[in-house]
Amino acid sequence: MTDARIVVIGGGFAGVAAAASLRARGARVTLIEARPTLGGRARSDVLDDLPIDTGAQLITSGFARTVRLLGAQLERSTAHDIVVRGDERFPLRFGSLRSLLSFSGLSALDKVRLATHLLPLLARYRDALDASGTRTPPSLDMESVRAFVERRIGPAAADTLAEPPCNGFYNLEASKVSLAFYLTLGRYGSEGDTLAPVDGWSAALGSALADIEVVRDTRAAALDVERDAGGRAVRVSIRDASGRTWDGSAVVIATDPRTAHALLAPHLSPDDALARWLAAIPIRETLTLALALDSVPPRDAFGVFQDVRTARAVSACVVHGAKHAARVERDAVLAWPTPAAFDTLRAASSESIATQMLPEVEALVPEVRSHVTRARVYRFEPGSPIPYVGFVRDRANGAALADSVALPIALAGDYLTTPLIEGAVASGEHAAARIARIVALG
């Protein structure tokens, strides 16, 4: 054990990964989380006595860093997805090469083009498509996934393979998403078994924080730096709105970039490159409509993706319980708006959002009809970083700026890597390594 005390701000995957890594190096760690629960955009909640993950995310065993972090808190899942087109429902595991080639929603010619143009890229660049974003070839980041798939395979393939994951997972049109990110998503989606948290993501993350002081429902309002007579930073303090403080030898800021900017800006010059970069990162807000049911819909599919050509309000749904093998008497369905609908719904009341989205949810999962006991809208502000065309070079530049800060501070978050759970964990581990060097941890 060392005398070093490190404060970590943020209890999402990046913050928990940083805290666990620092504790393993012998530091005393305090983690401060603004919400009552851990998890960030993947946090858990209880809706009408039903435990849910508000982002409903699953991972695969290819998320090696995340699996190391959470270990026994993960269980194998048989969940798979379907694409709904009119009255037809096509099974599909996004990212799985075998699933893509057997997918009956594509023509034989499109499958030939898929095997000729897209799948070889996944195979060729597999090792470089790491969620840390440090090895992604810039050549893959020069056009959108929509443009590439439409040009190389065809418009129908773009509608079926590119739009659903971009619309449903990130609330973005595929024309605004980098091919490099899509290939990275495919790489991780195709590797190994599908995994789900045994008791939800918040509980899984909590299990990784043994021997770590966790302060919940507390928002960091300011960061103060104490300097010695020579001007060297020797201590960092975090204050909340009530004036409570937490002192440490160093701090990891594992928040969204806007919060990171607010905490760092007073300690940087107005024209500082990092401050400008943090303030300019494109972010997309998202929301989730969660519906508690008094019944259990069929669990033949976890993700249910809407045909983008007919979708108006809803891009995708998930049957929450389909990711677990346990039999329950009730379940929940979660739904996400289309990118176009979100721009209208973002300012609407929760009641209005539920009213506008429910008809399409019922069309995708008919068993929802007449079985909803409670609805709740989760708003995720400021939202998710956008993996736009050119994001790879921009992230590399931002990560270098973050590592050059002449303070005992490290930044963490998937806006520094790739916007995946694995990218968040990678950034947390990188931040811990930076702090370990600064305060000379073992």
CATH of the domain at 274: 3.50.50.60
Residues paired with 196 in a beta bridge? 75
Structural contact between residues 306 and 341, judged by C-beta atoms closer than 8 angstroms: no
The predicted-structure confidence for 96-123, as pLDDT tens digits, reads as follows: 666 777 778 889 999 899 889 988 888 8
Tokens (6 digits) for 211: 């021997």
Q: Is the pLDDT of residue 94 over 70?
A: no
297 & 369 share domain: yes
Dump pLDDT digits (tens) for 392-439.
999 999 999 999 998 999 999 999 999 999 999 999 999 999 999 999
Q: Which two tokens stand for residue 68?
A: 């190391």
Residue 217 near residue 25, CB atoms below 8 Å: no
Q: 18-35 in b/e burial notation, b at 16+ Cβ within 10 A?
A: bbbbbbebebbbbbbbbb
Domain membership flag for residue 262: yes
pLDDT of 293 reads: 97
Residues 203 and 331: beta-carbon distance below 8 Å: no
Which tens digit of pLDDT belongs to each residue from 307-341? Answer: 999 999 999 999 999 988 666 789 999 999 999 99
Distance CA 304, CA 311 (A): 12
Print the domain residue range for 148. 94-185
Say what the pLDDT of residue 75 is. Answer: 94
3-state secondary structure 107-136: CHHHHHHHHHHHHHHHHHCCCCCCCCCCCC
Q: Which pLDDT tens digit goes with each residue over 171-206?
A: 999 999 999 999 999 899 887 888 999 999 999 999
Same domain, yes or no: 291 and 372: yes
How far apart CA 35 and CA 215 sit, in angstroms, is 10
Give a yes or no: residue 84 inside a domain: no
Asked whether residue 86 is assigned to any structural domain, the reply reads no
**pLDDT at position 237:** 93
Q: What share of the chain is helix, strand, coil (3-state, %, to 5)?
A: 40, 25, 35
Beta bridge partners of residue 90, listed in sequence order: 83
Q: Among 160, 170, 165, 187, which Cα is nearest to 60's?
A: 187
What's the pLDDT score for residue 95? 60
Is the residue at 203 inside a domain? no
Q: Enter the pTM of the model.
A: 0.95
Assigned domain for 51 exists: yes
In sequence order, the 6+-apart residues with CB closer than 8 A to the CB of 30 are: 5, 6, 7, 8, 212, 213, 214, 215, 246, 248
Rounded to a whole number of angstroms, the distance between the first and last alpha carbons of the chain is 9
Query: 341-388: per-residue pLDDT in tens?
Result: 999 999 999 999 999 999 999 999 999 999 999 999 999 888 899 999
405 and 271, same structural domain?
Answer: yes
* Residue 204 resides in a domain: no
Residues 259 and 126 in one domain: no
User: What's the length of the chain?
Assistant: 442
d(CA 216, CA 369): 37
SS3 352: helix
